[in-house]
Amino acid sequence: MKRKDLHTIAPKLSEISLKKTGFEIPKNYFKSIEDAVIAELKAENFLKKGTKEVFKTSENYFDFIEDIVIAKLKAEAIQNNKETTIPENYFQTIEDKVLAEIRTTPKVISLKSRFIKFAAPIAIAASLLLVFVLNKNSTTVTFDSLASSEIETWIDNGGMDIDALSIVSIYPDIELNNEIYSASLSDEEVLEYLNEEYLDEIIFEN
């Protein structure tokens, strides 16, 4: 449809002036549109903000930056390798190594706990010896001269029921820890001690 045909098809429409739409724009609007769009693009970093850089770099910085980065990455890779690498077959041999180590390491018993364990029975044994010596004034009594049955009978009759306070009262220069004060020794523990093969040595040394 040509414009000249419009008045025949749409006479009312053809009466309306084409040049006048009624739409206006603010003065100088079209002069500022480019700046507004450019500013928006620069704000979003889609356009270079300017050729003059305010920040400086050292001379030839950009010639060496790749080498510096690569060297750093390599150094980091070596460091990481050191931290994470384990000897070959480490996990296959670890059990054997640990067990071997356990077998060769001497058993360490602390002096304090060993002393506490044996101090009370030694004191008891020494007390018994003293009692026998005093009771049989003229007769020399040794452990050898006592029959095992006599010692056992004495123990069965409650002769071993000596608590920590009794021990301390006999041997005031021996320091005992709280464990000894709070727990008396059972008969079994004392008998076990008396059966120790080196008991004689301890007695004779004393």
Partner 1 sequence: MKRVKDEKLLVAQLKDPDTQEQAFRNLMSLYKERLYWHIRKIVLSHDDADDVLQNTFIKVFKNIHSFKENSKLYSWMYRISTNEAITFINKKAAKQHVDISELQHKMVNNLQEDINYSGDEIQQLLQKAIFTLPQKQQLVFNMKYFDEMKYTEMSEILETSVGALKASYFHAVKKVEEFLKLH
**Binding of residue 30 to partner 1 (CB under 8 A):** yes
Single out the segment in contact with partner 1 by CB under 8 A; choices: 36-44, 54-62, 83-91, 111-119. 36-44
Q: How many angstroms separate the Cα of 53 from the Cα of each of 17, 46, 47? A: 55, 17, 14
Single out the segment in contact with partner 1 by CB under 8 A; choices: 19-27, 83-91, 96-104, 183-191. 19-27
Backbone angles phi, psi at 196, to 5 degrees: -60, 135
Torsion on CA atoms 143, 144, 146, 152, rounded to nearest 10: 70
Q: Which residue of 46, 62, 91, 204 would you call a contact of partner 1, by CB under 8 A? A: 46
Provide CB contacts within 8 A for 160, sequence distance 6+. Answer: 124, 154, 185, 187, 190
Question: Cβ distance 121 to 193 under 8 Å?
Answer: yes
**Binding of residue 48 to partner 1 (CB under 8 A):** yes
Site string for partner 1, 81-110 (x = CB under 8 A): ------------------------------
Q: What is the distance between the alpha carbons of residues 126 and 152, in angstroms, rounded to a whole number?
A: 16
Cα 37 versus chain centre, distance:
59
Q: Which residue of 4, 24, 158, 172 would you call a contact of partner 1, by CB under 8 A? A: 24
Q: Which residue of 4, 28, 38, 75 would you call a contact of partner 1, by CB under 8 A? A: 38
Q: Which residue of 34, 59, 63, 197 would you call a contact of partner 1, by CB under 8 A? A: 34
Question: Contact positions toward partner 1, by CB under 8 A?
Answer: 1, 3, 6, 9-13, 15-16, 18, 20-26, 29-30, 33-34, 36-38, 40-41, 44, 46-48
